[in-house]
Structure 1
Amino acid sequence: MNKKRILSMAAIPLAGLTGMLNAATPKEKPNIILFMVDDMGWQDTSVPFGPEKTPFNRLYETPNMERLARQGVKFTNAYACSISSPTRVSLLTGMNAARHRVTNWTLNYNQSVDGKSDVLKYPEWNLNGMSPTQGVEHTCVATPLPQLLKDNGYYTIHCGKAHFGAISTPAADPENLGFQVNIAGHAAGGLASYLGEENYGNKKDGTKSSPFAVPGLEKYHGTDVFVTEALTREAIHALDSRDPRKPFFLYMAHYAVHIPINKDKRYYQKYLDKGMDPIEAAYAGLIEGMDKSLGDLMNYLEENKLTDNTIIIFMSDNGGLSAAGTGRGGDANTHNLPLKSGKGSAYEGGIREPMIVSWPGTTKKESVCEDYLIIEDFYPTILEMAQVKRVKTVQPVDGKSFIPLLTGKGKNPSLNRALYWNTPNNWGPTGPGIAATCAIRQGDWKLIYYYETGAKELFNLKDDLGEATNLALTNPEKVNELSTKLGKFLRKSGGQRPSFKATGKPAPWPDETF
């Protein structure tokens, strides 16, 4: 595994690729399972992604994540956006969030979810999400990843949380994005209930349910089947029903571990007995139920002799929920320690994710990769895994394939590269680093810029993983260097910025304040 330290260079978007699709026969292509967890923090697992085991790693029980890590490679520097919709749109388009402009979470058509501010006016972002077709206002138009896989012979299954487009837009239905099967996916990014006893939030009398009610699982209504278990059973049924002559792509996108923190009776008491408070015991149960789903899928592969030709990619969409008033137990902003803050934040607790890849015959077992990558990299990587060598896309692709990090062959895609984030919005909750921000990571250095105040924070993540010491005043040269790169990227990618209500003027770019 290549563990070279990462140098710096602005990420250069790839042009839309054109040409003939590859002619490999379906039997030569691997099956691919992308196992995406919602709101799972870097520490919400018994697998240590840091240099040593932590109290959280010793508290939670995820034996199947441990099993997957033994089979493949663990990524210690995997990044997403700090909020769900931006991450999921980057995943399906290969675009950085600054470019696709879906920079906050989506739900209702043409309705912004931005919180209030007395100082800033937030930009008109793409609040309707992504779209596979032109003509839908406030959307990012792109060629979706599952459509390309479907066009190249894959049987494509979506299971669980979608959250790609607002209600009534084409992308609210995963089948409009190239998925041949959609299980329980719709516009909402959360769920009303995990409980079958509560019909997953659907009303019994047929009247309108919450927009967060989980659709399509009526057979489990009135039962004691937790939604995580129901989704797993339906995913396995879809795999059993597929055309075995085709490779499959299963996007297993759990609603867990998003709020509400309902009790999964299979695990709840065990964590109470460990001394956890009731809310955190229930949260730990959400984690272990998710882990059981991973194990059930791995067992299915083994039982059906599919393991050797199936890639499993494990990832989370943003950092673990930790802000005050958002439903967690214990002390706010501590649930991802040693990482700072959590979901919605520009700090590491909001954007650094647990990631594991198992590719039998390719990845080295029990290996660790310290090179960094970001969520838009999944788009070209999965296409390369699927042997889709040349495609036509309507969007430029910012992501870089991380296949060399899996194989140890070829040029390291993380060398001479910087990673970028842009969130010119107000998520709503308050907490450290939760604000209208943009950020850059280059090698060990990370810069965060606050649009409202013009403040800049500089951290060396190698020496200060918890981002406790702001080095901006003592290292102005590095601040200026990163500010210049970040400002250049935001302009080039069409990034947005808020403006000041008092003057109507836009907030300065990070390289306009020194």
Structure 2
Amino acid sequence: MRYTVCILLLCSLLLPGCKPPEKEAKRPPNVVLFFVDDLGWQDTSVPFWKARTPFNERYHTPNMERLAAEGMKFTQAYATAVCSPTRISLITGMNAARHRVTNWTLRKDQLQPMETNHENLSFPQWNVNGIDPGGTDPKAVHATPFPSLLKNAGYYTIHTGKAHFGAIGTVGEDPLNLGFTVNIAGHAAGAPASYYGLENFGNGQDKRAVWAVPGLEEYHGKEINLTEALTVEALKELDVAVEKEQPFFLYMAHYTVHTPIMADKRYFQKYLEKGLDSIEARYASMIEGMDKSLGDIMNYLDSKDLSDDTVILFMSDNGGLSAVARGGELHTHNRPLASGKGSAYEGGIREPMLVKWPGKVAPGSVSNQQVIIEDFFPTILEIAGVVDLELVQEVDGQSFIPELLGEKALSSERPLFWHYPNEWGPSGPGVGASSTVRQGDWKLIYFHEDQRMELYNLAEDIGETDNRAEAEPEKVRELAKLLSDHLKNVQAQMPSDKETGIPIPYPAEALEAVSKT
């Protein structure tokens, strides 16, 4: 060894052009995106509001608490009101109005039955087939998914769980076509037929064949929950990444807590004993099973000395289910937020979000910055050091890394937009075709069917109980113009009146028409 040092020293002294070998570049951090399905803002023992609530006392999520203590909690993080639009915004960085995958996908080339059967509205031909990186499908959005960029940068990219990026028989159906090295149990459907290994996760059930979870045959006939099986498989793939000495991106996209609401038997009895009805006890047990998965992944990282080199992001894809299938009173399961999944109200779009980045993010910190799902695209790529992007799409998201680092934050006046020219199915407060903008504390919702507008000040009225539209006409006009300009800029689709065939006007145009009458 000493002879090598001497040679290098002589080389540097005698030969100006001779340089010692450069130090190996530092490997980029690993990234885990822990993405939960239908987890509401209140479905956790971590309080995301100014005060703890009865729901925070109901649920037991110690590993979310642990993640919050080790990282940053975001109190105003948003997704869309239903699943596929969120997932396409996540993977493309595009706002839903721009990418036009505005409803949940399943059948190739087909609108949803609740859309074709709507009494008063005709719905546009949105991108029902999801995403197509190649741009050959006219009913899919042409975009570069970020996992492909990570893979090209040397990451071992692992998809685990729910995909729901494209309809059956399309390119987007298979995560392997979107830049994932490995796909565990992801396909076109957005829900499992069964959470139970003893039921083969729905395989063999003809009536629910479309929902059967693929690729977990090893667990068929066994006493194991889907959430646990997915976690075990994900950890196996992390072992592969470690062996290959590659940085990894783990997209841990659980099917839970989506329907069917089926008890995680490891935790079910304790919630019955707490006095919950059987449905809510099942639901709470699913939440705790999800939290156990998070803890298993964090423990794995600790055991492999990977925690300091791994960023963990925790997020949900839409608000908590409350309109159907739940126990107790409907539309109350996200309080103090109004309504739930499928709704333009806060209960349908505000999410629990946590980020841990050792050495970068202050432990136990809290951010009140407003962020939205498309912001994850540039943020994750920046974390990974992938900055020279060659994209086919225009990205709407903005990196929230400055917020994580305590530097200059995103503007508090940056408008956030939602656009849903579709029909979800279940009914409830705020559910239905709508367009929405939030800027600062103010939020305007424009409902397409009757063209009414609702205005709320969320700082004063987080439950959206006091519609200020009549009292604040100037603010309505201001936000209606802001929203209309965005919709026009991205050429957003609008439904049409079924009787006349005339497209529903943008909100500013609707206001102008009212002023002339």
Q: Sort the TM-score into its range (normalised by shorter chain).
A: over 0.9
User: Aligned match of 1:361 in 359, 362, 371?
Assistant: 359
Name the SS for the 1:33 alignment partner: strand
Amino acid at match of 2:179: G
Q: Between 209-218 and 278-287, report the one with greater CA deviation.
A: 209-218
1:256 aligns with 2:253: no
CA contact (8 A) 1:167 1:187 kept: yes
Name the SS for the 2:300 alignment partner: helix
CA contact (8 A) 1:114 1:426 kept: no
CA contact (8 A) 2:159 2:252 kept: yes
Task: Spell out, residue by residue over 1:309-351, the C-alpha distance to the aligned partner (whole angstroms, 9 max, x if none).
Answer: 000000000000000xx21111100000000000000000000
Alignment of 1:121-136 (within 5 A): 121-136=122-137
1:158 aligns with 2:152: no
CA contact (8 A) 1:345 1:433 kept: yes
Q: Which residue does the alignment assign to 2:376?
A: 378
TM-score, length of structure 1 as denominator length:
0.93
Distance 2:207 2:315 in 1: 33
Alignment of 1:39-78 (within 5 A): 39-78=38-77
CA contact (8 A) 1:104 1:114 kept: no
Q: Which residue does the alignment assign to 1:419?
A: 416
Q: Which residue does the alignment assign to 2:349?
A: 351
Name the SS for the 2:209 alignment partner: coil
Alignment of 1:13-162 (within 5 A): 27-113=26-112, 115=114, 116-162=117-163
CA contact (8 A) 2:135 2:143 kept: no
Task: Spell out, residue by residue over 1:109-132, the C-alpha distance to the aligned partner (whole angstroms, 9 max, x if none).
Answer: 112115232211011100111111
Q: Which residue does the alignment assign to 2:227?
A: 228
User: Aligned match of 2:499 in 499, 502, 507?
Assistant: 502
Name the SS for the 2:251 alignment partner: strand
Shift of 1:208: 8.7
Distance 1:124 1:42 in 2: 32
Shift of 1:494: 1.6
Distance 1:26 1:133 in 2: 33
Shift of 1:28: 2.5
Shift of 1:27: 4.3
Shift of 1:245: 2.0
Distance 1:301 1:82 in 2: 32
Shift of 1:244: 3.9
Alignment of 1:328-477 (within 5 A): 328-409=326-407, 411-477=408-474
Q: Which residue does the alignment assign to 1:12?
A: none
Distance 1:173 1:414 in 2: 37
In the alignment, structure 2 segments of 5+ residues that lack a partner are: 1-22, 512-517
Distance 2:207 2:280 in 1: 31
Distance 1:303 1:27 in 2: 21
Shift of 1:137: 2.6
Alignment of 1:291-306 (within 5 A): 291-306=291-306
Shift of 1:488: 0.3
Name the SS for the 1:434 alignment partner: coil
Amino acid at match of 2:46: V
Q: Over the residues paired in the alignment, what is the CA RMSD in angstroms?
A: 1.2
Q: Which residue does the alignment assign to 1:322?
A: 322
Amino acid at match of 1:91: L
Task: Spell out, residue by residue over 1:194-219, the C-alpha distance to the aligned partner (whole angstroms, 9 max, x if none).
Answer: 00110000018xx7961110001000
Task: Spell out, residue by residue over 1:275-323, the C-alpha distance to the aligned partner (whole angstroms, 9 max, x if none).
Answer: 0000000000000000000000000000000000000000000000000
Higher fraction of helix: 2
CA contact (8 A) 1:199 1:222 kept: yes
Q: Which residue does the alignment assign to 2:198?
A: 197
Shift of 1:135: 1.5
Distance 1:278 1:439 in 2: 36
Task: Spell out, residue by residue over 1:346-403, the C-alpha distance to the aligned partner (whole angstroms, 9 max, x if none).
Answer: 0000000000000000001101000100000000000000001111000000000000
Q: Which residue does the alignment assign to 1:241?
A: 240
CA contact (8 A) 1:27 1:245 kept: no
Name the SS for the 2:228 alignment partner: helix
Task: Spell out, residue by residue over 1:130-169, the C-alpha distance to the aligned partner (whole angstroms, 9 max, x if none).
Answer: 1111221310010001000000111100000000000111
Q: Which residue does the alignment assign to 2:3?
A: none
Shift of 1:502: 1.2
Task: Spell out, residue by residue over 1:60-83, the C-alpha distance to the aligned partner (whole angstroms, 9 max, x if none).
Answer: 000000000000000000000000
CA contact (8 A) 1:373 1:414 kept: no
Q: Which residue does the alignment assign to 1:289?
A: 289
Structure possessing the higher relative contact order (Cα contacts under 8 Å, 6 or more residues apart):
1
Q: Which residue does the alignment assign to 1:14?
A: none
Q: Between 133-142 and 79-88, report the one with greater CA deviation.
A: 133-142
Distance 1:114 1:435 in 2: 14
Runs of 4+ more than 3 Å apart: 24-27
Name the SS for the 2:435 alignment partner: strand
Q: Which residue does the alignment assign to 2:11?
A: none
CA contact (8 A) 2:192 2:201 kept: yes
Task: Spell out, residue by residue over 1:165-193, the C-alpha distance to the aligned partner (whole angstroms, 9 max, x if none).
Answer: 00111110000000000000000111100
Amino acid at match of 1:174: P
In the alignment, structure 1 segments of 5+ residues that lack a partner are: 1-23
Alignment of 1:267-282 (within 5 A): 267-282=267-282
Instruction: Report % sequence identity.
Output: 60
Name the SS for the 2:211 alignment partner: coil
For these two proteins, the number of residue pairs brought into alignment is: 486
Alignment of 1:168-207 (within 5 A): 168-203=169-204
